[in-house]
A and B are shown apart, each in its own frame.
Chain A
Amino acid sequence: MTVAVFFGCSFIAFGPAFALFIFTIARDPLRVIILIAGAFFWLLSLLLSSLVWFIAMKASNDKDQQLQRGLLIFGVMFSVLLQEVFRFAYYKLLRKASEGLAALSEDERSPISVQQMAYVAGLGFGIMSGAFSMINILADSLGPGIVGIHGESQYYFLTSAFMTMAVTLLHTFWGVVFFDGCENRRWWVIAVVVALHLLVSGLTFLNPIYEGSLPPAYVILVSMAVWSFFSCGGSLQNIQQLLTCRKNDAGSEVAS
């Protein structure tokens, strides 16, 4: 519970997302708007799912701990499904907007491609999801307290930060893959994305047994990264070119 913990956890949780924002999104106003609108859609889905959970909770017995936990699990699952529904809705909205922009432009092309929109939308979802999960925890970490004083895990802040980072990046990759699946009408892709999201959320039910939730989440993260890379046109050749070009450029720069 120190400033070091605060800074460390916030950089862990938000570092990659922040870097992605600065380097790829901040310069283009259209992308910033799509990002914020994506965050808004995620927020809407959260709102509706908490409404459902709240009603269920109020209608049930307050004292029964098992029931409350069960309701919370139901709330989580429902929220995941609703998030994916809203992702689909956002996809539809962006398609329409893209068509509108293309119609208005001179060369019938939209100024932003669907893959870029997918990436930005996914990042929007991820940033908002991460922020909502992490910000209150970060604010608490600045204040006084002892972590795990009642016997819970000492690593609460650290694991929260890592999980938040994983979820943020996962949302980004899911966004890319999801939109790609919608574009090419591959519905199994959508089903897989939903299933993976449910899986990652479901694994967090194992917390505080962090071995059960964090490593699998990271494995899924890496595989999603690879999948989304290939789905938006990347290839091993690209990577090779990237590396060799770098070397070439470096060589030529040195020479000149």
Chain B
Amino acid sequence: MNTSDSEEELCNERTSLMTGSPPISSYHVETGLPSSMDTQTKRRRPVTNQSNNRETHHEGVSTERDSTADSEDEELSLKYGAKHVIMLFVPVTLCMIVVIATIKSVSFYTEKGGQLIYTPFTEDTTSVGQRLLNSVLNTLIMISVIVVMTIFLVVLYKYRCYKFIHGWLILSSLMLLFWFSFLYLGEVFKTYNVAMDYPTLALVIWNFGAVGMVCIHWKGPLQLQQAYLIVISALMALVFIKYLPEWSAWVILGAISVYDLIAVLCPKGPLRMLVETAQERNEPIFPALIYSSAMIWMVGMTEQSAVQQPSHQERNSDEEVGQSHHDNTEDNRNVVVPETEVHGTQSRTSSAEELEEERGIKLGLGDFIFYSVLVGKASATASGDWNTTLACFVAILIGLCLTLLLLAIFKKALPALPISITFGLVFYFSTDNLVRPFMDNLATHQFYI
């Protein structure tokens, strides 16, 4: 495990943190990270989102010159705040676009294909009440699985079973990068009637998967890594969209937001405990698969070290992040991502050198996955079609923006799911039931508002 590496980095970061005088606002938003990927298509896994802390680290950039007052720092942090919001908008948008494009073109993901073992109750019942009851039961099962996995992860972390977690993560990402992308590619080929021979396919999948493993777990160009993380989140979200029955999906989304809220804010919440444990040990909480948007860049350091820095961090984060997927056992991916220390590298040292930090922002993959599940379900099942999808998309982005704003105000770990998912759900149901008939009627008569 890279703890030693991370510790070294941490030390560096720490000292740099200490020396820097400007107020460093390191915000972490813990948005649960759902990291693991599903182990099997048959089984659904609870997505990591919830269990893990999703943390979006939002780091304010602190200025170097300590002489300048707080206001300049605050202004910079706001300016960078806006930049960081955009740095999150872009990947979230890309992930959603991939999911929506797939849902609209590949019909496989909208066909009924059975359900995962985590949602055993069927929704093909005769009465509405029964269906509602079944979906609530499904949700209860799913959420309890997630809770159990989170606690399991916390226990593992507490007792320093790093190798286990490490192996778990590697296996998870292996499964996602090879198997799920193979299935996805197969479905795309079927849709477009492309004839592909197995040797070529094997070559393509092998290359894709191998480069992905290297990029995610080791070093790689930042953009490639980001691209892989987006693709992984999209694949995971597609699996959820396919195997979650309709009503259960909505109830699960709602329940997960509530769970996220509880787990991150309550003193005895598992995520919070994870964060605190990591802080006690001065380790980066295992960064569950976290999407990171920027490199740390230090002038005055050698280029080599500068390049290594981010990959180290990413690496740590990857390992830690729970990619829980994993076969049979339901692993949750909970990953708490404590990013403070990890991000701490960005602090600047004072006077001696000019250090510039290009702080990035990190968001847990679980958030990506759940946002995409919401938008994907909206585009798959809504009769209002594109209007509903667009409305959910805007709602989620605004929720993300508000979450980051709250983060800047409160400066402590906050869950990133609740606001976005709430807005998304509200807009989905209201657009589908209220706005759609209105807009349809307007379009029929060609009235414009």
Contacts and interface: CB of A to CB of B under 8 A. Distances in A.
Interface of A: 29-30, 32-33, 36-37, 39-40, 43, 46-47, 49-51, 53-54, 57, 69, 72-73, 75-76, 79-80, 83, 101, 104-106, 111, 128-129, 131-133, 135-137, 139, 156, 159-160, 163-164, 167, 200-201, 204-205, 207-208
Contacts of B89: 32, 36
A39 B446 contact: no
A4 B357 CA distance: 48
A204 B401 CA distance: 36
A33 B438 contact: no
B387 interface: yes
Contacts, number: 125
B224 interface: no
Given A43-B391, A47-B430, A106-B68, A156 B446 contact: yes
B371 to A, nearest CB: 15
A51 to B, nearest CB: 5
28 contacts: A29-B85, A29-B86, A30-B82, A33-B401, A36-B401, A40-B398, A43-B394, A43-B395, A46-B438, A47-B430, A47-B434, A50-B437, A50-B439, A51-B434, A69-B445, A72-B442, A73-B447, A79-B449, A105-B72, A106-B68, A131-B390, A133-B442, A133-B448, A136-B387, A139-B386, A159-B446, A164-B448, A201-B449
Nearest to A112: B82
A139 B79 contact: no
B304 interface: no
What 3 A-B pairs are tightest by C-beta distance, nearest first? A50-B438, A207-B446, A29-B86
Contact of A201 (B390, B394, B397, B448): B448
A106 to B, nearest CB: 5
A39 B392 CA distance: 12
Nearest to A164: B448
Contacts of B445: 69, 72, 205, 207
Contact of A104 (B68, B75, B82, B401): B75
A104 B409 CA distance: 13
Interface size class of B (residues with CB under 8 A): 35 or more
B75 A136 contact: no
B158 interface: no
B394 A76 contact: no
A51 B427 CA distance: 12
Given A200-B448, A201-B449, A43 B427 contact: yes
Contact of B398 (A36, A136, A139, A160): A36
B294 to A, nearest CB: 13
Contact of A80 (B78, B391, B449): B449
Interface string B420-440: 000000010011011101111
A32 B86 contact: yes
A136 B71 contact: no
A184 B215 CA distance: 55
Nearest to A46: B435
Contact of B446 (A37, A129, A204): A204
B391 A104 contact: no
Contact of A76 (B74, B75, B433, B447): B447
B390 A137 contact: no
A43 B424 CA distance: 12
Contacts of A36: 89, 394, 397-398, 401
Given A133-B449, A160-B446, A204-B446, 15 more contacts: A30-B79, A36-B394, A53-B438, A72-B441, A72-B442, A76-B447, A106-B68, A106-B69, A111-B75, A111-B79, A133-B443, A163-B446, A205-B445, A207-B446, A208-B446
Contacts of A30: 79, 82
A30 B208 CA distance: 36
B110 to A, nearest CB: 16
B83 interface: yes
Contacts of A205: 445, 447
Contacts of B435: 46-47, 50, 132
B385 interface: yes
Contacts of B438: 46, 49-50, 53-54, 75
B75 A201 contact: no
Nearest to A153: B446
Contacts of B431: 47
B86 A132 contact: no
A72 B387 CA distance: 19
Contacts of B439: 50, 132-133, 136
Contact of B78 (A32, A104, A131): A104
B115 to A, nearest CB: 30
Nearest to A207: B446
B151 to A, nearest CB: 37
B328 to A, nearest CB: 41
A223 B47 CA distance: 54
Interface string B352-363: 000000000000
A147 to B, nearest CB: 13
Given A111-B79, A136-B439, A139-B386, A128 B394 contact: yes
A223 B63 CA distance: 47
A29 B83 contact: yes
Nearest to A73: B447
A127 B439 CA distance: 16
Given A36-B401, A37-B398, A201-B449, A136 B427 contact: no
Most chain B CB within 10 A, of A76, A101, A132, A208, is at A132
A132 B448 contact: no
